[in-house]
């Protein structure tokens, strides 16, 4: 990153957290980490930890995987979740999740790392 | 102005022992002969990529191998939209007077040159390396996500999607070069192995070996001219996580631009060649392009609208779903078939009237789009 701000650890770095960025200039949100805001170009968006709450936007149950590591987990449900904070993310989830379900995240091992895993909100 | 003056297409399926360059050469030779030209008259080369034999200068490698010293050459990479993106570029190069005859070529031994796992892995890399790929998605999973949402929003069923696989297979049965020669039913699609639900094996295009090529020229070289009337692109995102709402996808934007710069309306179109990597891709694109109303594409398949003798014949060679998919050459086969139809050379697949055609290609996960209108002129 170009700025001095400390990068917050998240699941892509092995921590049990979902992190997103918020632009101080335009208020835009982004999930894919960058050193600038992709909406207005302002530098150093602020990193925030997401609550893990959200709503299921789409699902696909993977039954055919392409590596020995991922094949060990077949079938696994890939989901897109619209988070309470307002950004969309890809994750794993319960097999019976339906579009529109309110969900909450935990973290689960997958192919040698931790990935976000959504369950229906109790 | 620019014209598609020649086309070449190999059979798709297994070409044991053929390299990507072999398949590109074979298709190129057919296209140049079809245009009535000699190798030496080709002064521009645009080629796609090969996942089996990646190279940073594939067009130059091909030019040397094939025996051409072009004044203009490079590769183009836009995933499944590459073939039409190259055609669009060739059109502009010819119109600008940079070259006279551009050879557009794609070919790959994707089936026999590497394992199916290797193909699936290579293609999954269109996903985000940090935020998507570690979750183990595959290309069918990216499209499975899109399918689940589209089905939810517009009330489309898995049986609806299966209709597109059945139609493409029925068309492929009429083409000796197609990878598949056995008829299938909606029930076959429904009971085929789950890949990335809601998509099953027969909802997915196969991996193939094959090659396709065409020549784009300043003037027609034969009696019937196939003219590029207009074309346009749209690129809305790369990763499915960052895709816009279903109502703002790139196909609608690209075709609106192409309609504006060609002056052609959908009601003028007599033949459609639409990218069909998965049944959902075809269903969505037909509706995005305005060839069917939202949620209505499947019922138009059932009523015969998109059949060879229907009002809007579609992918009469069998498309990616049943002619096959060898990478860049896969969607180029759509243009080859369109050219045969427009020039009255499609034999037992010939449609009544292919005077105006709409072609559409999609790369990534509905990320990159190219729409193109071709018109027959005498």
Q: 């990616």: which residue's tokens? A: B320
- Percentage of chain A exceeding pLDDT 70: 95
What single-letter DSSP state applies at residue B107?
Answer: E
User: Strand A53-62 to strand A76-83: parallel, antiparallel, or no bridges (unpaired)?
Assistant: antiparallel
Task: Quote the pLDDT of residue B378.
Answer: 86
What single-letter DSSP state applies at residue A74?
Answer: -
Can you say how many angstroms the Cα of residue B202 is from the centroid of all Cα atoms in its chain?
A: 18
Identify the three-state secondary structure at position B153.
helix
Task: Quote the pLDDT of residue A5.
Answer: 58
Q: What is the pLDDT of residues A23-74, one digit of tens each?
A: 999 999 999 999 999 999 999 999 999 999 999 999 999 999 988 999 999 9
Q: Which residues of chain B have pLDDT under 70?
A: none
**What is the edge-to-edge ordering of all strands in the sheet holding A46-49?**
A29-30, A19-22, A46-49
Please indicate whether, in this complex, the C-beta atoms of A66 and B124 are within 8 angstroms of each other: yes
Query: How many angstroms separate the CA of residue B207 from the nearest CA in chain A?
Result: 14
Q: Long-range pairs for B260-265 at CB < 8 Å and ≥24 separation? A: B260/B230, B260/B232, B261/B230, B261/B231, B261/B232, B262/B229, B262/B230, B262/B231, B262/B373, B263/B229, B263/B230, B264/B229, B264/B230, B264/B356, B264/B358, B264/B373, B264/B375
Task: Find chain B residues with C-beta within 8 A of A65's C-beta.
Answer: 136, 138
A25 touches chain B (CB under 8 A): no
Is the Cβ–Cβ distance between B220 and B5 less than 8 Å? yes
Q: Burial level of B40, CB count in 10 A (0-12/13-18/19+)? A: exposed
B136 touches chain A (CB under 8 A): yes
The DSSP annotation for B251-263 comes to: HHHHHHHHHHHH-
Length of chain A: 122
Domains of chain B and any CATH numbers: 3-113+208-217 (3.40.47.10)
Task: Find chain B residues with C-beta within 8 A of A12's C-beta.
Answer: 130-131, 134
Nearest to B324 by CA among B213, B120, B179: B179
Please indicate whether, in this complex, the C-beta atoms of A62 and B193 are within 8 angstroms of each other: no
Quote the CA–CA distance of B316 and B273 in Å, as a whole number.
Answer: 8
Could you check whether the bond before residue B198 is cis, i.e. omega within 30 degrees of 0?
A: yes
Give B362's strand partners.
B369
Q: Can you give the pTM of this predicted structure?
A: 0.96
Please indicate whether, in this complex, the C-beta atoms of B136 and A73 are within 8 angstroms of each other: yes
Q: 């990878």: which residue's tokens? A: B179
Task: Quote the pLDDT of residue A3.
Answer: 46
The number of beta carbons lying within 10 Å of the beta carbon of residue A95 is: 11
Give B109's strand partners.
B209
Can you say how many angstroms the Cα of residue A97 is from the centroid of all Cα atoms in its chain?
A: 16
Query: C-alpha angle with apex A79: B243 to A98, nearest 5 degrees?
Result: 110
Query: How many angstroms separate the CA of residue A84 from the nearest CA in chain B?
Result: 16
Nearest to B334 by CA among B125, B157, B82, B136: B82
Please indicate whether, in this complex, the C-beta atoms of A64 and B193 are within 8 angstroms of each other: yes
The number of beta carbons lying within 10 Å of the beta carbon of residue B36 is: 12
Quote the CA–CA distance of B87 and B200 in Å, as a whole number.
Answer: 32
Task: Find chain B residues with C-beta within 8 A of A100's C-beta.
Answer: 152
What single-letter DSSP state applies at residue B135?
Answer: G
Q: What is the dihedral of CA A65, A68, A73, A74, to 10 degrees?
A: 30
Beta strands in chain A, from DSSP E residues, in sequence order: 19-22, 29-30, 46-49, 53-62, 76-83, 88-93, 102-110, 113-120
Query: How many angstroms separate the CA of residue A96 from the nearest CA in chain B?
Result: 12
Q: 């449900």: which residue's tokens? A: A77
Task: Find chain B residues with C-beta within 8 A of A61's C-beta.
Answer: 144, 194, 196-197
């Amino acid at each position: 990153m170009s700025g001095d701000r400390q990068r917050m650890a998240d699941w892509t770095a092995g921590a049990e957290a979902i992190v997103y960025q918020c632009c101080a200039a335009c208020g835009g949100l982004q999930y894919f980490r960058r050193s600038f805001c992709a909406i207005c170009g302002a530098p150093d968006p602020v990193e925030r930890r997401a609550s893990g709450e959200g709503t299921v936007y789409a699902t696909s149950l993977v039954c055919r995987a392409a590596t020995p590591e991922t094949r060990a987990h077949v079938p696994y449900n890939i989901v897109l979740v619209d988070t309470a904070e307002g950004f969309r993310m890809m994750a794993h989830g319960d097999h019976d999740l339906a579009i529109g379900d309110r969900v909450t995240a935990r973290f689960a091992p997958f192919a040698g790392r931790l990935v976000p895993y959504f369950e229906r909100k109790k | 102005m620019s014209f598609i003056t020649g086309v070449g297409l190999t059979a798709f399926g297994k070409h044991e022992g053929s390299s990507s360059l072999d398949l590109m050469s074979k298709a190129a030779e057919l296209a140049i002969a079809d245009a009535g030209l000699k190798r030496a008259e080709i002064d521009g080369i645009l080629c796609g990529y090969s996942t089996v034999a990646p190279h940073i200068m594939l067009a130059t490698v091909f030019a040397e191998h094939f025996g051409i010293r072009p004044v203009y050459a490079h590769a183009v990479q836009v995933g499944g939209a590459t073939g039409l993106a190259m055609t669009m570029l060739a059109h502009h190069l010819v119109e600008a007077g940079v070259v006279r005859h551009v050879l557009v070529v794609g070919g790959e031994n994707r089936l026999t040159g590497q394992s199916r796992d290797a193909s699936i892995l290579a293609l999954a890399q269109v996903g985000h390396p940090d935020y998507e790929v570690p979750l183990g998605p595959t290309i069918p999973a990216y499209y499975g996500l899109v399918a689940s949402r589209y089905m939810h929003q517009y009330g489309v069923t898995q049986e609806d999607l299966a209709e597109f696989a059945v139609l493409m297979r029925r068309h492929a049965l009429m083409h000796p070069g197609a990878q598949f020669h056995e008829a299938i039913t909606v029930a076959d699609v429904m009971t085929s192995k789950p890949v990335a639900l809601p998509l099953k094996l027969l909802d997915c295009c196969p991996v193939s070996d094959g090659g396709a090529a065409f020549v784009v020229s300043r003037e027609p070289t034969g009696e019937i001219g196939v003219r590029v009337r207009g074309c346009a692109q749209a690129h809305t995102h790369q990763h499915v996580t960052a895709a816009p709402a279903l109502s703002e996808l790139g196909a609608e934007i690209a075709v609106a631009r192409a309609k504006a710069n060609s002056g052609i309306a959908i009601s003028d179109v007599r033949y459609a060649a639409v990218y069909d990597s998965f049944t959902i891709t075809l269903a969505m694109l037909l509706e995005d392009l305005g060839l069917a109303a939202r949620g209505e594409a499947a019922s138009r398949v059932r009523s015969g609208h998109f059949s060879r003798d229907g009002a809007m014949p579609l992918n009469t060679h069998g498309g990616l779903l049943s002619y096959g998919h060898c990478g860049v050459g896969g969607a180029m086969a759509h243009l080859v078939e369109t050219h045969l139809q427009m020039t009255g050379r499609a034999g037992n697949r010939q449609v009544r009237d292919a005077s105006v055609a709409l072609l559409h290609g999609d790369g990534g996960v509905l990320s990159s789009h190219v729409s193109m209108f071709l018109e027959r002129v005498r």
